[in-house]
Structure 1
Amino acid sequence: MVKKLAACIGDYKKYAILTPIVMVGEVMMEILIPFVMSKIIDIGILGNGGITYIIKMGILMITMALISLCFGAVGGKFAAIAGMGFAKNLRKRLFDKVQDFSFANVDKFSTPSLVTRLTTDVTNTQNAFMMLIRMAVRAPIMLIGATIMAIIMNAKLSIVFLIAIPFLGFALYIIMSKAHPRFVAMLKLYDRMNSDVQENLVGIRVVKAFVREAYEKTKFQNSANAVRKAQVRAEKLIILNGPVMQISMYGCILAVLWFGGNMVMKGSFEIGQISSFINYITQILMSLMMISMIFIMLVISRASMTRIVEVLDEEIDIKDNSTGLQNKVEDGSIEFNHVSFSYAKDKENLTLSDINFHINSGETIGIIGGTGSSKSTLVSLIPRLYDVLEGEIKVGGINVKDYALETLRNDVAMVLQKNVLFSGTIRENLKWGNEAATEVEIVSACKAAQAYDFIMSFPDGLETDLGQGGVNVSGGQKQRLCIARALLKKPKIIILDDSTSAVDTATDSKIRRAFKETLTDTTTIIIAQRISSVCDADRILVLDDGKIDAFASHEELMKNNKIYREVYESQQKGDE
């Protein structure tokens, strides 16, 4: 896990190495300052050194303090640069990995969980990294250096803090072992809270339409309270570290004052030495506190690190399988050979079962079926958004697994059931289909999708800002923009997954007519609930419970297929 995360330091390795080196300089000055101070008291004030010695040693002491300050400031700067750079690289690596995820991979983690891992978990890991490169060097060196100086001054008196160290180590072990599971549980509740926030913001119009603001407030309050309780439960163990350290520190100081005072009275120990000894005791215990804080930060961030590495280690469900992949789709023909599919990859729980059919290049195919008949799943297999469990799918006569994913998906344009637009202008969204699209091509695609007129009705036309998720356009307008975006790809195959459900029948008819006129060489697959949307197709595939019930023309289905005829008659009655 550490090796994977350390690889994200990248170009900031120099600062990560320089930070502990600079911290060594700061610590050495801090360790020597109490020694100089003891000399000022014992020789300058109580001895024969006089004012000259005091001034000389005072200047030395101030110089050492300034050097320590400079080292500390530079170390802080280097640590910040290394930490921020590490976090940037880690976020990029996580985001790049998520971009390679298949739909199945995203389904496994859930969107809110991935958001938490890219934000909160990375921040926790960054804080731990910054503390490590500073404190993980500073604290042990201070502990060793101050211990040596204390032993040199008075070996017998050093036994005091040697007794305290095992006590502190045991207490720290208990705190760490109990705290980690609580932080894991807390992060899971973070995921749930982020999920509530995301759902609310995406569906804010539905919330307001159904006057459910009070319900959503209560729901979020419950999530936030659950996170708060988990945080308190985890933190109340961590904060025990402070009192334990303080008790040890003050106990050691009292013991040193008692035993050291007796030594001073007997003349075996100097007043300046006991003052410096107390400073070394403080440094030793403070370094132990720093070490304990490092371990505590690692406990807090360990859960976050584990969650980050889970994403980095996730096996990509769909990827280019081998070298020598096809980089060109010859035509839009499609063939399903005994295809079966299961989301759970379980042969006993199939979503699609033994699917067989062939589509000629340039054909227009309709797909009809009841809710849950796996229409969307079927077409998602063509561009390999999911992979088949059994059988094979061929596009242009070649197995889809033998294409480079980029090649296949560039030639298979899919307008998904849930239409998504991004922040930016209409033109920027359309160019997702083809970054090099000319003005003529954009206008042509918009006209074919029946989007040109409403785009031009906006004061800014193609430069109209859509807002986040396309909030400034209606559902039907959003569908038409997504269709235009797909057309700009000039694909061999275009799939409309119920993509005209929000437009009126007249506009739907115009879109289909434009497709027939402009997409003569493109295979068009239309999933629809309305038979009027597919009745003009060359053939219509009827799905029932994940199996093909029929595949024929409208006329043949009306004669021979009971399911299709019942749907048609029910819709005709509805129209009447």
Structure 2
Amino acid sequence: MLKLFRLLAPYRALVVLVMALILLQSLSELYLPTLMADIVDEGIVKRGGDTAYILRIGGFMLAVALAGTGVSILASYYSSRISAGFGRLVRGRVFTRVEQYSLQEFDKIGTASLITRTTNDINQVQQVLMMMLRMMVMAPMMSIGGIIMAVSKDARLSLVLVVAVPVLVLTIVLVARKGIPLFRVIQKKLDKLNLVLREGLTGIRVIRSFGRIGHEQARFVEANRDLTETSVKVNQIMAVLWPLMMLIMNFSSVAIIWFGGLRVSHGHMEVGDLMAFLQYAMQIMFSMLMLSMMFVMVPRASASAVRINEVLEMSPVVNDAPHVRAGRAELRGVVEFDDVTFSYPGAEQPALKNVSFRAEPGEVTAIIGGTGSGKSTLVNLIPRFYDVDSGSIRIGGTDVRERPQAELRSLIGLVPQKAVLFTGSIADNIRYGKEDATDEELRHAAEVAQAAEFISGMEGGFAAHIAQGGTNVSGGQKQRLSIARALVRRPDIYIFDDSFSALDFKTDAKLRAALKGETTEATVLIVAQRVSTVMDADRIIVLDDGKIAAAGTHRELLQSSEIYKEIVSSQLSEEEIA
């Protein structure tokens, strides 16, 4: 947690101010019992009820109390500002760090866990910081100050505190030792609950279509019950702390009044001093109580801080090289795979093995193969979502690992396998590919993507609203908007990762015909399941079990590749093949 608190640097002056305010508040609270003792001993006992003296000291006491209240309010205000600003800074750092991750880090931590860490975990640390600014500073001040003032009133009566305080501390330590490990477990179980909830919400259509609502409810109930049981257990342990501390405090009060009464009766102590001593004892006990509350919250926040630091300290596997260089102008847009092998972390077999090919501008290179053959993996390596294990991928004659990632991806227009739309208007979603795109460029991209017709039919046209996740448009419409988003960018390289699967054959054919005129100077790579989508490609690469089984045109492959012939015959009739 101390590592995270380094981010408090911009609030250093405010932290010092809060410390000063809390010091003043503590001093005012420590001074009040002495004033009260003065009223009793001097104003009532010695002076026989001197009203003027009592009112004068009482007025001063009221002023001290009001001043203490004022600085307490200011301390609360500024500690809230510090903790809220700290939370904002940490959330910004975490989000920025996560944006730098490659897909490998996302796979390692998990999306559900990242969401929990960015929200719940940071909130835990933020709340504890606010309490620490108040209690962690005030409690020691009140405790030490209370002991000093109590001893000054009667050193021998302070022996009661010598027994009570260690018992109190021992109680806190024993209870905290039981509870602290469970707070770490709670955060992990909260991750599990978020994971189940997220899967249940995002996959609701599949769940309903297969009649698995009961199964998902059971999964959620199990995760929820697991979290609840752990939370109840830790709260039961911590619930013991409060009554134990109150018991110790009450016994201490009885002891102070008993022995203090004896000292008063023997003339060794004044009544007012006994009252002040009792208040100082209570201040000491309550400061211990405040520390015990911190013991309840700090372990959980500490577990959260460890998880946040894990995100901030995890170095992305994919990084810009120290020395980067641009590609040669004469090779602009040329994509070359040179003996590329790649394995997913923890996989037993490589997803791609010794893949080599070259894709030229003005050409369409199609990639086809069975499920799990490595088609999407291959195109995900081009924008460096992952880095190759061996071999190299070059764009414009330069290894992609030697280019800045931002520059590399600016050359690419990617249409992913799963079309992703963002909340906002249709224009906003298409402009995601090029922020400064003109209205004319938007219309042109939509026309080429065969999206102009359905856009014009929507209320507001390009200003029509897209719901979260694009739920108010069909799968085919999502794909066409994703294609328009890539087209408006006018990149050197187009990657279509099975991006025509939701289109009917007529729209598919019209779209491919329109793309030909639009991509004459760009390199086009198409991953597809349909043979009709790749038949007209300049080169078709057939992948099988991560290896290139064959490459050539449609007609060449019909003659030379059994795998390709099987794919074609499974989709087309003999007349269509001929």
TM-score range, shorter chain: over 0.9
Give yes or no for contact 2:103–2:386 (8 Å, CA) kept in 1.
yes
Aligned to 1:43: 42
SS at match of 2:315: coil
> What fraction of aligned residue pairs are identical, expressed as a percent?
39
Counterpart CA distance in 2 for 1:174 and 1:318 is: 46
SS at match of 2:424: coil
Give yes or no for contact 2:327–2:396 (8 Å, CA) kept in 1.
no
Q: Deviations over 1:384-418 (max 9, x none)?
A: 01000111110111100111101111111211111
SS at match of 2:549: strand
Aligned to 2:503: 503
* TM alignment of 1:281-296, pairs within 5 A: 281-296=281-296
Bigger drift between 217-226 and 512-521 goes to 217-226
Counterpart CA distance in 1 for 2:238 and 2:163 is: 23
Counterpart CA distance in 2 for 1:179 and 1:326 is: 57
* TM alignment of 1:99-248, pairs within 5 A: 99-248=99-248
Instruction: Give how far 1:10 is off.
Output: 4.5
Counterpart CA distance in 2 for 1:143 and 1:184 is: 30
Change (3 A) 1:146 1:426: same
Counterpart CA distance in 2 for 1:47 and 1:484 is: 93
Aligned to 2:390: 390
Give yes or no for contact 1:352–1:374 (8 Å, CA) kept in 2.
yes
Aligned to 2:339: 338
Instruction: Give how far 1:514 is off.
Output: 1.0
Counterpart CA distance in 1 for 2:327 and 2:64 is: 67
Give yes or no for contact 1:180–1:303 (8 Å, CA) kept in 2.
no
Aligned to 1:258: 258
Instruction: Give how far 1:217 is off.
Output: 3.5
Aligned to 2:462: 462
Give yes or no for contact 2:498–2:527 (8 Å, CA) kept in 1.
yes
Instruction: Give how far 1:214 is off.
Output: 4.3
Counterpart CA distance in 2 for 1:184 and 1:156 is: 44
Give yes or no for contact 1:9–1:86 (8 Å, CA) kept in 2.
yes
Give yes or no for contact 2:361–2:520 (8 Å, CA) kept in 1.
no
Change (3 A) 1:413 1:119: same
Counterpart CA distance in 1 for 2:67 and 2:513 is: 80
SS at match of 1:524: strand
Counterpart CA distance in 1 for 2:324 and 2:393 is: 19
* TM alignment of 1:155-554, pairs within 5 A: 155-326=155-326, 331-344=332-345, 349-554=349-554
Give yes or no for contact 1:10–1:89 (8 Å, CA) kept in 2.
no
Instruction: Give how far 1:277 is off.
Output: 0.8
Change (3 A) 1:574 1:94: farther
Q: Deviations over 1:313-355 (max 9, x none)?
A: 0011111111343288752211111111111177x63111111
Give yes or no for contact 2:328–2:396 (8 Å, CA) kept in 1.
no
Instruction: Give how far 1:8 is off.
Output: 2.3
Bigger drift between 432-441 and 180-189 goes to 180-189
Bigger drift between 558-567 and 290-299 goes to 290-299
Aligned to 2:56: 56
AA in 2 matched with 1:36 = L
Instruction: Give how far 1:210 is off.
Output: 4.3
AA in 2 matched with 1:364 = V
Counterpart CA distance in 2 for 1:14 and 1:209 is: 59
Counterpart CA distance in 1 for 2:551 and 2:217 is: 50
AA in 2 matched with 1:7 = R
SS at match of 2:151: helix
Aligned to 1:8: 7
AA in 1 matched with 2:30 = I
RMSD after superposition? 1.8
Counterpart CA distance in 2 for 1:211 and 1:530 is: 30
SS at match of 2:526: strand
AA in 2 matched with 1:279 = Q
Counterpart CA distance in 2 for 1:315 and 1:565 is: 45
Counterpart CA distance in 2 for 1:328 and 1:36 is: 85
Counterpart CA distance in 2 for 1:78 and 1:345 is: 49
Bigger drift between 278-287 and 156-165 goes to 156-165
Number of residue pairs matched by the alignment: 574
Bigger drift between 230-239 and 461-470 goes to 230-239
SS at match of 1:469: helix
Normalised TM-score (structure 1): 0.96
Instruction: Give how far 1:260 is off.
Output: 0.8
AA in 1 matched with 2:342 = F
Change (3 A) 1:386 1:473: same
Counterpart CA distance in 2 for 1:534 and 1:290 is: 71
SS at match of 1:340: strand
AA in 1 matched with 2:336 = E
- Structure 2 stretches of 5 or more lacking a match? none
Instruction: Give how far 1:288 is off.
Output: 1.1
Aligned to 1:80: 80
AA in 1 matched with 2:338 = N
Give yes or no for contact 1:352–1:378 (8 Å, CA) kept in 2.
yes
Instruction: Give how far 1:551 is off.
Output: 1.1
SS at match of 1:12: helix
Give yes or no for contact 2:466–2:472 (8 Å, CA) kept in 1.
yes
SS at match of 1:46: helix
AA in 2 matched with 1:391 = G
SS at match of 1:391: strand
Give yes or no for contact 1:333–1:395 (8 Å, CA) kept in 2.
yes
Give yes or no for contact 2:169–2:288 (8 Å, CA) kept in 1.
no
Instruction: Give how far 1:532 is off.
Output: 0.6
